[in-house]
Structure 1
Amino acid sequence: MDSCYGFAYSRIENLIDKSLISVSQNQIAIHDLLQQMGWNIVCNESPLMLEKRSRLWIPEDSYDVLTKNNGAEMLRGIVLDMSKLEKLELEPIAFMKMQKLRFLKFYHSCGKILLFKGLLSFPNELRYLYWEGYPLRSLPTKFDLRYLVELDMRYSNVKQLWEGKQDLGNLKVIRLHHSKNLVRIPDLSSATNLEKINLRWCFNLLELPSSLQHLEKLTLLNFSFCKNLRSLPSFYKATSLTKLYLSGCSNLFSIGEVSPNVTKLCLEGIAIEELPSSIECLSNLRVFYLWGCRRLKSLPSNIHKLKSLEYFDLQGCSRLKIFPEIMDTMETLRVLDLSGTALKDLPSSIDNLIGLEDLRLNYCEDLVCLPESIYKLESLENFNLGNCSRLETFPEILDTMEEMYKLDLSGTALKELPSSIANLIGLKDLRLNNCQNFICLPDSFYKLKSLELFNLEGCSRLEIFPEIMDTMEKLYELDLSGTALEELPSSIANLIGLKYLGLNNCENLVCLPDSFYKLKSIEIFNLKGCSRLEIFPEIMDTMERLYELDLSGTALKELPSSIGNLISLKDFRLNNCENLVYLPDSFYKLESLEKFNLKGCSRLEIFPEIMDTMEGLYELDLNRMVKDLRSNM
């Protein structure tokens, strides 16, 4: 805004007060009426002669003025959306007569604006230059940048912006990201007001000018995925720098000194092997990304001095074997991601991370133990240990942990959980799926009163599910598929909030408890592939919520006549029940039934009488089963 209209701020505030414009994230949104009024004012400047207007925004108007070269001395701004035009071929003198032009924006223009003969210059009054896909290898040599505030040439063909020095006293922003031919940027020592440089995805950028280290107003530097960048100047003196992005600079082996005021440092995927001890000077650092640094072997012992750190991401640092002792409390660190590292254990001083909310250790395949002090992380909410395939024990929880709501132990080598797991009184989501060594749940399991989701799928050695000694109102999903259970306890009825019960492929399951019908909240019950299950229990009372029942692949011979009490059943699967010989006459009472699958029930010879209408049934699969269909079907 100040690049073109330095006096405008007080007037902008007046428009905000009158609700004619709004400002959000440094962008101005204009009321439709105000926008239309502005358009009308410009059009009335010269109804017939476009070149006499102060601003152009209609693509056809811009095309007309730029190609005729008739002179446009009054023109101050051009905005051209090239998606509306097929192409635009400009002469070298295209901007020569636009001496008052301050604002130029060409977008959606990659490959569409042609400069076969080059370009002599841009207007020297230009404040804002945005040219997406600028086709030339440099800026015109006659272009004086002394008034330019923002230069945005993303996706350009620029190799080097200019030779020698320029007066850049007003320049605040340089954006050249995705300019694949850019090799270097020129001396910027005169750009004393420069605040932001974005050169991400400039693959061929080889070096940065040393003058960057003296630019005291720099706040953001983004060199992400500049894969040929091998060194950096020191940024210690760039005292305003708060964000430094170097992600994907895969040939960068060191980072040098960084301004102590940096709040966000992104080093994902660089070739660094260790961090300098001077990292402790980054007292304002809040977000630190190191994920994918596969050469990183160690962290400095003074990492605990990063007192402002909130988010520390080390995922995928596959050579990192040791996490340093936390020699002092770190109150602000909320997220620590160590997933995919080579850690074997954590230091007992991990409890000094007193503000930690999210600890991720998933896919740490060398992790064998956890410190006993883990229960002291009183702020911990999410603890992810999924696929830590060598982790055999989980430590005792010696005091209540109220905040932890999610614990992922899937794919670990655990054999059991400690009885003190009940101290996770806020736990909502517990995952033990694919723990193939897991054999025992503690009797205290029922004390997890906040538990909502419990996944034990694939725990192929789990033979016994514990008694539920008290009601568990909040547990709504229980997946026991693929376990070695032979039966469920009758106290399963204490899961009064249960909506989903999965027992798919429990090949040892031989019976279900008579109390099953007391699960009044259950909606989905899956028993697919329970190949030894021969009897389905009587439904002694109506079950109003069960709408999906999958008994496919079981050894059932018949269903109880009380099956009609499943009054809300919509989807009923009995396919491939090769022992099934009988359906009860009460079948017709399933008035809500929509889909019924009996495919492959090869011993079922008679389909029961339909004594009343079943208007909702729209899918009935009887392939490979019924020899005698009664006419009333």
Structure 2
Amino acid sequence: MFHCIPLWRCNRHVETIDKRHCSLLYVPDEIYRYGRSLEELLLDANQLRDLPKPFFQLIKLRKLGLSDNEIQRLPPEIANFMQLVELDVSRNDIMEIPDTISYCKALQVADFSGNPLQRLPESFPELRNLTCLSINDISLQALPENIGNLANLVSLELRENMLTYLPESLSKLQKLEELDLGNNELYNLPETIGHLVSLKDLWLDGNQLADIPADVGSMKSLVCLDVSENKLEYLPEELGGLLQLSDLLVSQNNIEALPESIGKLGRLSILKVDQNRLMHLPEGIGNCESLTELVLTENQLQSLPRSIGKLKKLSNFNCDRNQLTSLPKEIGGCSSLNVFCVRENRLTRIPSEISQATELHVFDVSGNRLAHLPLSLTSLKLKALWLSENQSQPLLTFQTDQDPNTGEKVLTCVLLPQQPCEPDPKVADNLARFGGLTSLNDVVEEEWDEHTAKRTSAIHFLEDGEDDDEEDQGTLQRRATPHPGELKTMKKAAENLRNDMNAAKALDSNKNEVNNGVTTSVSDPYLFQPPKYFYLSFSVASSSRTIPNPSPAPHHPRQALRPTFDPWLTPG
């Protein structure tokens, strides 16, 4: 028996079909039934490999999503999609964009990222209505010389390609607001880049740039500038003309000084200058009144300007691994400070004015040379106070004591005074293998006795009748408590090494064997080779551990023949 199907059900009006994440191996035939009305087709995240010819009869399509499939070819018939506004074919296996793409005159948003493309067709700039173009990670080596014809572009993403230069016509994109050129191979920027007067976000991170053209100061609308991971040695003074700039990221360069004009950036909120070569900060930094985050990690700063106390909105300050010997008392003026990190510097005291930063919750001063902390810290509502990397809990129990120099009351605890950081076993091994043996006595007696023996501390309370001079220093004293097994091992190793050196000097250069099985060279003591495995014993918190130190790793090409010392791993 046959049933009559109403005509209205045969010609169902469907405008949108969403078949994302359906594990499709091919385009379902049912889709073609709606060719007269279908405007939005989403087939993302499937396993499609081919687009059959009937697919290109869906001429009413305005939005087409084909990302995250296995499509290997974009047929010339794509020219049929003359009403297409949005096209996403990212993360497929498409090796070429057909020239006929230029017939898609209505196209405004296109994403070709993550395909094995190496070039764009010459006809591509004919897509004059394009506003957003993403061609990230496609091994693109060059842009079309007439890329400037895409006059309506607002966003252009070219991240993770192989671009070595930018065509001059790029400066014609007067409407461009976002330009992402990160992780390419750019060595310089066109002098005319400042003509992009509408640009708000410019990402240039991960390139080979040695300088930034002064014309960048003409980008009056720029809000975010990222030039991190380049080879910059300076920033132009014209940078101070970017009055709308909010984010300035210049991490991992070779910058030795910030321009004085940085103080003109009144709207600057985030400044990251970590992993550079900064020797000082300009006084003008205090005029960046909107600054909320300042990252100065891994530079060569020895001091901070007093003007830093003007940063009333600063909430996150990180100056780890520098060479700071003191902090300005004006630091307490940073009334919004929430996180304050100055670990691994050379600080001997913390100014009591730090307590004026009433919003401070995280205070990290580990790896310094502090003997005590200011009593005023007790007025803060700290959630974490770090004095050591080995600290087991964020907050400790403190006692009050008296500063022997000033007589003022201070805070102290079991982790104070701080001790220099322990040397890396690899550094110690390199010292033994390369140059350290010329002054073996100094290495053993000075470094080991004075440094290693101070790794753990014990609290000693003075008893009645002890020297009055000691009482003047307060009732709480700390003395180094070396681990007996550690000293015994060190002494034995030192004696063996000394004997080896003496024996080596007495032997002929062709006879290098010594009585403990260690081979040395008479002609050059720096070629001394230690045993394949060297066991370093040390104590932490009254417990002894033994760690095997394997044979040395292959020499890094940047390392000198003789050992270099990491200033963060050696005392003083």
For normalisation by structure 1, the TM-score amounts to 0.58
Residue 311 of structure 1 and its aligned partner are, at CA, apart by 1.6
The CA deviation at 1:542 is 4.3
Conserved in 2, the CA contact under 8 Å of 1:496 and 1:521? yes
Query: Residue 112 of structure 2 contacts residue 135 of structure 2 at CA under 8 Å; is this kept in 1?
Result: yes
- How far residue 574 of structure 1 moved from its aligned partner, in angstroms, is 5.3
Q: 2:11 pairs with 170, 175, 183, which one?
A: 170
Aligned letter for 1:315? Answer: N
Residue type at the aligned position of 2:292 = Y
Query: Would the alpha carbon gap of residues 542 and 231 (structure 1) be closer, same or farther in structure 2, given more than 3 Å must change?
Result: closer
Aligned partner (choices 402, 411, 420) of residue 238 of structure 2: 420
Corresponding residue of 1:553:
367
Letter in 1 for 2:63: K
Any residues of structure 2 matched to 1:223-234 within 5 Å, and which?
Answer: 223-233=43-53
Shift of 1:348: 1.9
**Structure 2 counterpart of 1:316:** 137
Partner in structure 1 of residue 287 of structure 2: 471
- The aligned counterpart of 2:110 is 288
Give secondary structure in 1 for the equivalent of 2:261: helix
Alignment partner of 1:336 is 2:156 = yes
Q: Larger RCO: Structure 1 or Structure 2 (Cα < 8 Å, ≥ 6 residues apart)?
A: 2
- Identical residues among aligned pairs (%): 26
Q: Deviations over 1:122-146 (max 9, x none)?
A: x967xxxxxxxxxxxxxxxxxxx76
The alignment status of 1:386 with 2:205, answered yes or no, reads yes
- 68, 71, 93: which one aligns with 1:271: 93
1:475 to partner: Cα distance? 1.0
Does the CA-based 8 Å contact 1:546-1:566 persist in structure 2?
Answer: no
Gaps of 5+ in 1: 1-95, 97-122, 126-144, 150-168, 174-194, 591-595, 605-622
Which structure has the bigger radius of gyration? Answer: 1
Distance 1:598 1:500 in 2: 26
Match of residue 528 from structure 1: 343
The within-5 A match list for 1:141-152 is 149=9
Name the amino acid aligned to 1:316.
D
Aligned to 2:188: 369
The secondary structure found in structure 1 opposite 2:284 is coil
| 1:261 partner letter | Q
Distance 1:405 1:472, change over 3 A: same
How far did residue 445 of structure 1 move? 1.4
What is the match of residue 178 of structure 2? 358
| Equivalent pair of 1:478/1:500 in contact (CA under 8 Å) | yes
SS of 2:340's partner is strand
For residue 340 of structure 1, report the CA deviation from its aligned partner: 1.0
Q: Distance in 2 between matches of 1:482 and 1:452?
A: 21
- SS, match of residue 492 in structure 1: helix
- Report if the CA contact (8 A) 1:602-1:626 is conserved: no
Q: Trace 1:287-306 onto structure 2 (pairs within 5 A).
A: 287-293=109-115, 295-306=116-127
* Bigger mean CA deviation after superposition, 274-283 or 442-451: 274-283
Q: Which of 476, 495, 503 in structure 1 is aligned with 2:311?
A: 495
Mapped partners of 1:464, 1:245: distance in 2: 52
Aligned: 1:453 with 2:274: no
Which position in structure 2 is the counterpart of 1:177?
A: none
Give the Cα separation in 2 of the matches to 1:358 and 1:476.
Answer: 24
TM-score, normalising length: structure 2: 0.63
Is 2:40–2:63's contact at 8 Å kept on the other side of the alignment? yes
Summarize the Cα distance change of 1:414–1:238 in structure 2 as closer, same or farther, 3 Å threshold.
Answer: same
- Does the residue aligned with 1:397 lie in a helix, a strand or coil? helix
- Cα distance in 2 for residues equivalent to 1:264 and 1:458: 41
Query: Does 1:261 pair with 2:78?
Result: no
How far does residue 199 in structure 1 lie from its aligned partner after superposition? 4.8
2:490 alignment partner in structure 1: none
Paired residue for 2:219? 401
Query: Contact 2:66/2:90 (CA < 8 Å) preserved in 1?
Result: yes
CA contact (8 A) 2:62 2:85 kept: yes
Matched, 1:431 2:246: no
Superposed CA RMSD in Å reads: 3.9
Identify if the C-alpha distance between structure 1 residues 584 and 374 changes in structure 2 by more than 3 Å, giving closer, same or farther.
farther
Letter in 2 for 1:482: E
Give the AA of the match of 2:136: Q
User: Is the CA contact (8 Å cut-off) linking 1:172 and 1:196 kept in structure 2?
Assistant: no
**How big is each residue's C-alpha offset from its partner over 1:65-120, in whole Å with a ceiling of 9 and x where there is no partner?**
xxxxxxxxxxxxxxxxxxxxxxxxxxxxxxx9xxxxxxxxxxxxxxxxxxxxxxxx
Q: Which residue pairs with 1:564 in the alignment?
A: 376
Equivalent position of 2:439 in the other structure: none
Q: Does 1:513 align with 2:328?
A: yes
In the alignment, the residues of structure 1 paired with residue 33 and residue 172 of structure 2 have an alpha-carbon distance, to the nearest angstrom, of 36
Q: Is the 8 A contact 2:347 2:370 kept in 1?
A: yes
8 Å contact from structure 2 (residues 126, 149) kept in 1: no
Greater fraction helix: 2
2:259 aligned with 1:442: yes
- Secondary structure of 1:374's aligned partner: helix
Instruction: Give per-residue Cα distances to partners, 1:578-611, cap 9 Å, x unaligned.
Output: 9x99855899999xxxxx994533679xxxxxxx
1:627 CA displacement: 4.2
Distance in 2, matches of 1:251 and 1:564, equals 66
1:255, 1:528 → 2: CA distance? Answer: 59
Query: In structure 2, what is the Cα distance between the partners aligned to 1:412 and 1:627?
Result: 53
Q: 1:292: Cα distance to partner?
A: 0.6
The number of equivalent residue pairs is: 417
Q: What corresponds to 2:25 in structure 1?
A: 205
